[in-house]
Structure 1
Amino acid sequence: MDAIRKQLDVLMGANRNGDVQEVNRKYYDRDVCRLYLSGLCPHDLFQLTKMDMGPCPKVHSLQLRKEYREARAKGVDNYDRELEDAIDRLIVECDRKIGRALKRLQEEDAKAAIAISVSEVTQSPEILELSEKIKEKMKEADIHDLEGKMDLKIRALELVEEMRTKRADQQAVLLLEAFNKDRASLPQPVPAQPPSSELPPPDPRTQEMINEKLKKAEDLGEQGMVDEAQKALEEAEALKKLTVRREPPADSTKYTAVDVRITDQKLRLCDICGAFLSVYDSDRRLADHFGGKLHLGYMLVRDKLTELLDEKANIRKERLGFSSSFLFHCFITVLI
């Protein structure tokens, strides 16, 4: 509720209900969020995720953001350095988490560590083009926001959501293809499971669990929940083979240490947000990951940091060019 209330304050003002005394603020006041003024407050990124920071304790105001941008254009104030420091801390912490996860995977099995760079295999000309369109549309929504054109802003954000969904689907397909190749390269166990007809009957408790799974699958199928029903059937099939899996292999010399560790080799790590992904995930689960708030939030943070660093580099080049031109002009003047 606090988050929703804060969003309404941003859109309609704190006195939208006529029960709050208006405060005459300036953008440079202490209780105004400078990160929001600069374009990205981390408190708004990860709502309802495990990284949720809660509502920002400082004021978010569209009018003050507009005033700040006007002052920034005149060279009066610039809070980009504060924003850069804040999101750099977020990225450093995320990269540390990724590093710790990779180390843990490598300790268990070197081949379980990241074998695929998610950010590389999910980049295609179509996806890069979609990403650029999303950035342009978000800037357009920001402009409409500052101008108070809420209908146009909502329409722009709806288009952003549509393009994000399309991009997530395409990224999932590309990553699934990479996972299929990765999975094919994993060593496969030597022994083969006997046919279902040759499996020994399960114990009464296991048989009861199997029957429950089959009944659940039937009920879900009648409700039209095909994916859930299929999952229940797979769980029932796994229970049927449970007795065989518990038995030791007849000839243990046929197995190697690599075969035993196959289940540990299925995890891969997203190098953008640090989430674990499985090479056995479906394209739908992968698409949900790419479209999730956590992944999108870290994408926005990383893109914003790149934007700030590029802008800083361009300013340095301009200053260097001006200094060189000025020195050259002075040198020519002295010669004359």
Structure 2
Amino acid sequence: MAAEQRKLLEQLMGGGMTSRAAQLPLTDPKVCRSFVAGTCPHDLFTNTKADLGVCPRVHSEALKAEYEGLPEAERKKLGFEYDYMRDLQTRIEACNRNIETLQRRLEKTPDEVRQTNALLKAISDLGATVANGLLEVEILAETGDVLRAYDEYYKVRQAQAAKADRERELKALSETSGPSGHQKLQVCDVCGAYLSRLDNDRRLADHFFGKMHLGFAQMRKAYEAFPKEMRGRARPPMPPVGADDDMMGGGPPGGGYGDGWKGGRGSRSGGFRPRGPRRGW
């Protein structure tokens, strides 16, 4: 879909973008390095809630083929893989922050925490009452004080019933706590969408095979494919390229890929902001 949008834009501009791409050298800062070295994230989420829009940089299949035809040593000197890796890292970290934000929204409210703590204390106190009462019944029975032992056992049974009631209340509170607890929501740890454990297999399959989920899965897989030592190193210096030597300066790392999925934590401009408990798909 992104390719179709780009083609339509080129047609509206009279083929200007095509001719411009054909004239650009591989090291031109207008070239999308993520597209050349791998897959541009802008192409992964078209028509999804994580849509990044059309990439502002040039995607040229000819330049991609030129790059892939270079010897490995020359590709390393260009450093495109580092730019691609940083682009992926920026967007993955933004997605992870969004996941953490959504998970916190599913946590208990202060009032629910207070109720939970009160029930836990009541259950603990009643448990102690039952244990002490049973011990008292045993002692009374051994001394032959049957009537007092019977009265004490009746109190133990009352404490046991009260403890069972508090345990049921605690279970019900745990199942319904949080803003959407009745739906048993959880956050997908890959793409940050809301999932319901009450959904059938077909609906879950629609999510896991959906474009947004697969896009984030592809980005994470591509990032993990980079060697660990490479992920921990700084970008290698660019070789002198004359007038194009500015391509690594005057902008964010990755040749302008510093937008970092705008909005990041919870924003629908690039992150996720659910409009309702079941609309995060």
Relative to the length of structure 2, the TM-score reads: 0.52
Deviation at 1:88? 0.6
Cross-structure match for 1:34: 33
**Structure 1 residue 100 corresponds to structure 2 residue 72:** no
Contact 1:72/1:78 (<8 A) preserved = no
Report whether the alignment pairs 1:298 with 2:216: yes
Distance 1:98 1:310, change over 3 A: same
Q: What residue is the counterpart of 1:54 in the other structure?
A: 53
Contact 2:44 2:215 in 1 (8 A): yes
Residue 64 of structure 1 corresponds to 63
Q: Aligned partners of 1:2, 1:277: CA distance in 2, in Å?
A: 27
Deviations 1:292-328 (A, max 9, x none): 1111011011001011235838x9xxxxxxxxxxxxx
Change (3 A) 1:80 1:72: farther
**2:32–2:57: 8 Å Cα contact kept in structure 1?**
yes
Indicate conservation of the 8 Å contact 1:43/1:56, yes or no: yes
Query: Equivalent residue for 1:312?
Result: 230
Q: Please state how far the C-alpha of 1:257 moved relative to its aligned partner.
A: 3.9
Matching residue's letter, 2:172: D
CA contact under 8 A between 2:45 and 2:52: conserved in structure 1? yes
Distance in 1, Cα, partners of 2:2 & 2:190: 29
Are residues 1:73 and 2:72 paired?
Answer: yes
Going from structure 1 to structure 2, the CA distance change for 1:77 and 1:19 (only over 3 Å counts) comes to closer
**Is contact 1:71-1:77 (8 Å) kept?**
no
Equivalents in 2 of 1:69, 1:107: separation in Å? 52
Q: Which amino acid is the alignment partner of residue 169 of structure 2?
A: T
Residues 172-216 of structure 1, C-alpha deviations (whole Å, 9 max, x = no match): xxxxxxxxxxxxxxxxxxxxxxxxxxxxxxxxxxxxxxxxxxxxx
1:311–1:70 CA distance, 2 compared to 1 (3 A): farther
Checking the alignment, whether the CA contact within 8 Å between 1:46 and 1:297 is kept in structure 2 is: yes
Distance 2:225 2:82 in 1: 12
Which residue does the alignment assign to 2:92? 91
Unmatched runs of 5 consecutive residues or more in structure 2: 114-164, 234-281
Residue 22 (structure 1) aligned with residue 19 (structure 2): yes
Contact 2:5/2:54, CA 8 A, preserved across alignment: no
* Larger RCO of the pair (alpha carbons < 8 Å, separation 6+): 2
**Structure 1 unpaired stretches of 5+:** 111-252, 316-336
Q: Deviations over 1:71-100 (max 9, x none)?
A: 352424231111111111111111111112
User: Residues 18, 90 of structure 1: CA spacing in aligned structure 2 closer, same or farther, 3 A cutoff?
Assistant: closer
How far apart are 1:54 and its partner, in Å?
Answer: 0.4
Q: Equivalents in 1 of 2:2, 2:69: separation in Å?
A: 30
| C-alpha separation in 2, matches of 1:303 and 1:84 | 11
**Is the CA contact 1:3–1:54 (under 8 Å) kept in the aligned structure 2?**
no
| Alignment pair present for 1:289 and 2:207 | yes
Deviates more, 1:59-68 or 1:21-30: 21-30
Give, as a single letter, the amino acid of the residue that structure 1 aligns with 2:36.
L
Tell me what 2:197 maps to: 279
Give the whole-Å Cα distance in 2 for the aligned partners of 1:291 and 1:99.
Answer: 23
- Aligned with 1:268: secondary structure? strand
Match of 1:142 in 2: none
- Quick check: 1:43–1:53 contact (8 Å CA) kept in 2? yes
For 1:210-249, list aligned pairs within 5 A. Answer: none
Deviations 1:152-186 (A, max 9, x none): xxxxxxxxxxxxxxxxxxxxxxxxxxxxxxxxxxx
Change (3 A) 1:90 1:260: same
Taking the aligned partners of 1:311 and 1:7, their CA distance within structure 2 comes to 39
- Distance, in Å, in 1 between the alignment partners of 2:3 and 2:53 is 7
> Closer, same or farther in 2 for the Cα pair 1:82/1:260, shift >3 Å?
same
Higher-Rg member (1/2): 2
Post-superposition shift, 1:7? 5.3
CA distance in 2, matches of 1:69, 1:47: 26
Q: CA deviation at 1:30?
A: 2.1
Judge which range, 270-279 or 101-110, deviates more: 101-110
Alpha-carbon distance in structure 2 between the residues aligned to 1:25 and 1:284? 47
Distance verdict in 2 for CA 1:300–1:273, change over 3 Å: same
Aligned-pair distance for 1:105? 2.1
